Amino acid sequence: MGKFMKPRKVVRKAVIVKNTDDGTSGPPYSHALVAGIDHYPQKVTAAMGKKKIAKQSKIKSFVKVYNCNHLTPTRYSVDIPLDKTVVNKNVFRDPALKCKARGEAKTGKNKCFFQKLLF
């Protein structure tokens, strides 16, 4: 099961880059290429040093292919202009391309997308 629908846990926010309703030669089921935030920035206080603040402020992103049954769609949209030439399925073959695609997912102005989900 993916990270999205574990019981009692809403873990990550993500954006669907490309959706494939019919199966392909790789995964024979409906799937989606997803870019999202894997590690959110944590709380920072005035008592923390510069090194600790830098560590707490880091954002880690991910690019993965997920089964559509494991995703939960919402009504929200994001203004991130993902470049389709950078974020695509060929990214998984080369680690350098994957790193560049993960950096592409960190851009955007929508503050809500980069904050942790709270319930």
Q: Which ranges in the chain belong to alpha helices (H)?
A: 50-56, 95-104
Residue pLDDT, tens place only, 41-65: 888 999 999 999 999 988 888 888 8
User: Where exactly are the structural domains of the chain?
Assistant: 14-114
Per-residue pLDDT of the chain (119 residues; tens, 9 = 90+): 455 555 555 567 788 888 888 877 778 888 988 888 888 888 899 999 999 999 998 888 888 888 888 887 777 777 666 666 666 667 767 778 777 777 766 666 666 666 666 54
At 119 the pLDDT is: 47
What pTM does this model have? 0.59
Tokens of 17: 């880059």
Q: Residue 104: phi, psi to the nearest 5?
A: -65, -30
Could you say which of 2.30.30.770, 3.90.1200.10, 3.40.50.300, 3.30.70.260 is the CATH number of the domain covering 14-114? Answer: 2.30.30.770
